[in-house]
Structure 1
Amino acid sequence: MSTNKNNRETDRPRVFSRLFWQVSAIFLSVLGVFAAIALYISVQAASNYSEEVNQKLNRELASNMLDVITPMVKDSINEEALADIMHSMMVINPTVEVYLLDKEGTILSYVVPEKDVKLEKVSLVPIRNFLNDRKQSVIYGNDPRNPGESKIFSAARITEDDQLLGYLYIVLASQEYISASHLVIGSYILGLSIRSVVVILIVTAFMGLVAFWFLTKKLNVITSGIQKFRSGQYNTRIPVKDKNELDKIGLVFNEMAETIEKNIEELKGVDTLRKELISNVSHDLRTPVASIQGYAETLLLKKDDILKEDRERYLKTIVKSSERLKKLVSELFELSKLESNQIKPEMETFVIAELIYDIANKYRIISQKKGVSINTVLSKDLPLVEADISLLERALQNLIDNAIKFCEEGDTINIEVNTEEVGKVSVQISDSGQGIKQEDIPHIFERYYKGREHTESTGLGLAIVKKIMELHHSDIKVFSQFGKGTTFSFHLPVAQIA
């Protein structure tokens, strides 16, 4: 009872499966990494934007300062001018650092909040880029107070009589200002970025989890169907509504399940047929074997007292039973080879009229003993046919054997060959024997079926004929009226002669 309950609980799709939680965990982890990257990029972008704006706003600061102050006169420093710069910077913009450079970039003098300048020389490359290319977004130069770091700046050439004396190099944000501004700007941008990222993260996570839930819900239905099928419920099918990728999986599963279910039913039928075959073969083998054994034991026990006539009769019975046993075993092997496709037809072109005449003449000797006549009716100018001669001969022999068995004295067997259809030759074997009951007709080609209970029949002859016709891509048809006779017919392809 508990086992069935557990199976029902296992088969029932869960609202949130383990796959949903696994996929959701991976999704949220990836989303978190992207959120951290986006936060870092936004803070850096805001900081870079702030520096770019600052440099553009103060681009002409150094040039404007030179318009009112002359820091150098004939390669010598104008101390009075530097004092004016110090005073102006403390009043107007205490966040900048002013450096006086010679033509090589060597620092000659400076005005900074704290006397801790560590570099003796500044690279002129960014200064020249700044002066020559006014379209660049942002240019960084050396920070004399922090070797290895770069800062935004403003610069201007110091000239006298069109001769370059040096450069005025102004760092637009001193170390103290940078520390404070980074703290303030970083705090604001970080807070704004965090709020934005959190909102985006929540919305994206919600939408992603809902999407994953819908996907895994469909997967749960598919998984549940597969589990039911595995447990033996072979009629299980997965409901398919749309034509998306997951529904395609359901369609493929349904097709596979139908094929497997069909194969299982066929195997059950084959197993039933196998059991019936074993039973029938055992019965038919037992009869001739018992007959042979009985008469052989009689001959041994009464070898001195048995009459000559009885001895001959017993020996004939043994021979007849042996022949029947041999025929049964031979036909079983032949049918098994045909059904397992071990026999491959060797197609060749031949005159079918000659084959019909040979077989009819061979069987006339047998039929005459029973008082049955065999007639052949062949159309004129029959075309060549393409078939396996030995297999076709075997099929014709079985059909004629079958007709002779169920004919009485005075009956006739007609073999007709004509070309009623274009590209095909029709072959008919008709007899005026006892015919077949209507309820037996659907089963006469089944293996080991003997509807008319003929004691000498193995029940395999017509099954062999049907397999031979299948190898020739033809159908064997039957028309019969009980008490009036039976007609078997099939078609052969006309040979294509180049």
Structure 2
Amino acid sequence: MKLSRDIMRFFIIPVVLLVGIIVTAAFTVFYTTTARTSSGKIISSNWPKEFTHDFSEYINIMNGTPTISDTGKNLLVKNDLWIQILDATGKEVCNYDKPSTVSDTYQPYELLNLYQYGVGQYSVFVSSVNAGDTAYSYLIGFPLSISKVVTYVDTDRYNSGKTLIIMIIILTILLILALTVFYNVVISKSYERIRESLGSIASRTYKPVAGHRFLREIYEGLDTLNHDIALADRQREKDTKAREEWLANITHDLKTPLAPIRGYAELLSETNTDIPFERSRKYGAIILKNTLYAEQLVNDLKLTYQLQSNMLPLKKETLNVTRFVKEVVIDILNAPDLEGRNVSFISNSEAATYFFDPLLFRRAVTNIVVNALAHNDTSTEVSISLDADSGVKLTIADNGNGMTPQELDDLFTRYFRGTSTEIKAEGSGLGMAIAKQIVEAHDGVICAESMQGVGTTITIVLP
């Protein structure tokens, strides 16, 4: 299988991290176990101890007096070192290049401190040389800062444990490499599956991945994403279809008033036609009626997009909400085509006030009530109740034909025009959508319940 560049990153990153850890550990060991001489040469931090121990071969004892060979002196000069030879009592018997700050005689504890902490800028190491029954100690000063770290361990266990420690380190590195390879293989396969899933979601051919224990949350998220996209696609198709139907209806409805407007306008514009005054006034009334109908269609379309885009600022006032709703109902019943319809109104408070936009809220209530009257026969009863104790709860119920579940789902959808009777659907198809937008612009909630043969109830709740 050819690995993509992204999958290679899964392999490279942990390998680079592992190499970085090994390099860091090696550098730390090297940095802490080496020292730099005054000449810039890198040496092992154990070198001064070994040098001091081996320097005894350059010390000659003749007639009970220790001397330093020329070779030894050259080594001291070459490495910028000094030496001091002491007898059994701690007194100096010989030295070479010893600094003036170094004492000539020592007590035992002073030798211990000198070895442990050095003197000045020098680290001091101690060894001894024997000549028969006489022993001499010698100190060599190194221009380095080397600490003597002492750890007490069981020698047998330490010697045998070094092999075990090395094996543990090797096994740990191998385990890290094995886990790195294993998880990279798992992650790379999961990555390929996720990438394929994203591609199938984009092409709308996604199938849920089964048995995904590793990265389960990601796969569940992909399932949710695919489900949401599928819902959005269906809603978009539904909206597109509704929009196309609405455009067709609006085009037809606009042509309907334009035809008589044009026809009667042509009659009135003919100069050679003697039209009686009464007929001219009748023609003008028809033109005016159809013009108002066309204007209403355009205004509805403009209003719904203004509300959707928050381009219409609310002009709120504090008004008596009971009186307001009662006046809206009276104005509706005063319309000639709705006169005599059975509409009742009750309220639990006559003095309740509320802060709202009267023009927009009038439009919302009018749309709902007129919709209930227009889509039911003349014997339908419409009851309006207002509860204004806490906020506003306005309920508009009818005992008409009711709606199908599909019609109920589409009730507040823009462009939807439904009817529960055999009559032709009229209006712009935006009335209920506008009512919903107005209620939501007041931070309210509107909901509908309906059952065929029982009726429909619409409830508005304002906070």
Q: Which has the higher contact order (CA 8 A, sep 6+)?
A: 1
Other-structure match for 2:63:
83
Contact preservation (8 Å) 1:141, 1:152: no
1:3 corresponding residue in structure 2? none
Instruction: Report the aligned-residue RMSD.
Output: 5.3
Tell me, what secondary structure is at the counterpart of 2:298?
A: helix
- The residue that corresponds to 1:30 in the other structure is 20
Q: Is 1:460 equivalent to 2:430 in the alignment?
A: yes
TM-score, normalising length from structure 1?
0.61
Residue pair 1:130, 1:139 contacting (<8 A) in 2 also: no
Give distance in 2, aligned partners of 1:338 and 1:127.
98
Distance 1:376 1:285 in 2: 35
- CA deviation map 1:223-267 (0-9, x unaligned): 64145414615647787647xxx7666677766666666555544
> Which residue is 2:330 aligned to?
361
1:209 is aligned to 2:187 = no
Q: 2:217, 2:376 → 1: CA distance?
A: 60
Summarize the Cα distance change of 1:427–1:135 in structure 2 as closer, same or farther, 3 Å threshold. same
For 1:375-426, what per-residue CA distance to the aligned partner results, in whole angstroms no more than 9, with x for missing partners?
A: 433345564345433332111222233344346667665443346xx63554
Other-structure match for 1:134: 112
Would the aligned equivalents of 2:301 and 2:430 in 1 still touch at CA under 8 Å? yes
Q: Counterpart amino acid of 1:210?
A: A
1:423 paired to 2:390: yes
Aligned equivalent of 1:474 = 445
Count of aligned pairs between the two proteins: 402
Query: How far, CA to CA, are the matches of 1:99 and 1:363 in structure 2?
Result: 121
Given that residues 308 and 437 in structure 2 are in contact (C-alpha distance below 8 angstroms), is that contact kept between their aligned partners in structure 1?
yes
Alpha-carbon distance change, 363 to 229 in structure 1, aligned in 2, over 3 angstroms: same
CA distance in 2, matches of 1:431, 1:249: 49
Answering whether residue 256 of structure 2 is matched by residue 287 of structure 1, we say: yes
The alpha-carbon deviation at position 320 of structure 1 amounts to 1.9
Give the 3 Å change call, closer, same or farther, for CA 282–47 of structure 1 in structure 2.
Answer: same
Whether the 8 Å CA contact 1:370–1:409 is kept in 2: the answer is no
TM-score after normalising by structure 2 = 0.65
SS in 1 for 2:432: helix
Match of 2:404 in 1: 438
The alpha carbon displacement at 1:321 in A equals: 1.7
Q: Determine helix, strand or coil for the equivalent of 2:371.
A: helix
- Name the CA shift for 1:138/1:44 in 2 (closer, same or farther; >3 Å): farther
CA gap of 1:408–1:195, structure 2 versus 1, over 3 A, is closer
Measured after TM superposition, the shift of residue 123 of structure 1 is: 1.8
Secondary structure of 1:337 counterpart? helix
Cα pair 1:469 1:476 within 8 Å, conserved: no
Q: Closer, same or farther in 2 for the Cα pair 1:141/1:223, shift >3 Å?
A: same
2:386 aligned counterpart, secondary structure: strand
Task: Confirm or deny: 8 A CA contact 1:413 1:430 kept in the other structure.
Answer: yes
Q: Which runs of 5+ in 2 are unaligned?
A: 36-42, 70-74, 77-81, 87-91, 130-135, 142-159
d(CA) in 1 for partners of 2:458, 2:299: 24
Greater alpha carbon shift after TM alignment, 455-464 vs 399-408: 399-408
Amino acid at match of 2:364: A
Whether the 8 Å contact between 1:371 and 1:411 is mirrored in structure 2 is no
Q: Residues 266 and 316 from structure 1, CA distance in 2 versus in 1: closer, same or farther, beyond 3 angstroms?
A: same
User: Does 271-280 or 195-204 show the bigger shift?
Assistant: 195-204
Letter of the structure 2 residue corresponding to residue 438 of structure 1: T
- Answering whether residue 108 of structure 2 is matched by residue 123 of structure 1, we say no
Q: From the superposition, tell whether residues 129 and 403 of structure 1 become closer, same or farther in structure 2 (CA, over 3 Å).
A: farther
Is 1:334 paired with 2:312?
A: no
C-alpha separation in 2, matches of 1:212 and 1:266: 46
CA offsets 1:118-167 (integer angstroms, 9 cap, x no match): x6x3225456697524145557799xxxxx998734589xxxxxxxxxxx
- 1:133-152, aligned counterparts within 5 Å? 133-135=111-113, 152=125
Question: What's the CA shift string for 1:318-373, capped at 9, x where partnerless?
Answer: 22221111111111111222233334555554322211232233233325774435
Q: Does 1:170 align with 2:138?
A: yes
1: CA distance between counterparts of 2:424 and 2:438?
A: 23
Correspondence for 1:448: 415
Point out the more displaced range, 456-465 or 272-281: 272-281
Question: Is 1:18 matched with 2:5?
Answer: no
Q: Shift of residue 461 of structure 1?
A: 1.4
What one-letter code is carried by the residue in structure 1 that aligns with 2:261? I
AA aligned to 1:339 is Q
> Residue 269 and residue 441 in structure 1: after superposition, are their counterparts in 2 closer, same or farther (change >3 A)?
closer
1:269 CA drift (Å): 4.2
Q: Partners in 1 of 2:404 and 2:103 — Cα distance?
A: 112
Distance 1:306 1:404 in 2: 39
Does structure 1 conserve the Cα–Cα contact (< 8 Å) formed by 2:261 and 2:286?
Answer: yes
Q: Distance in 2 between matches of 1:380 and 1:491?
A: 16
**Pairing partner for 1:320 from 266, 289, 293:** 289
Matching residue's letter, 2:331: K
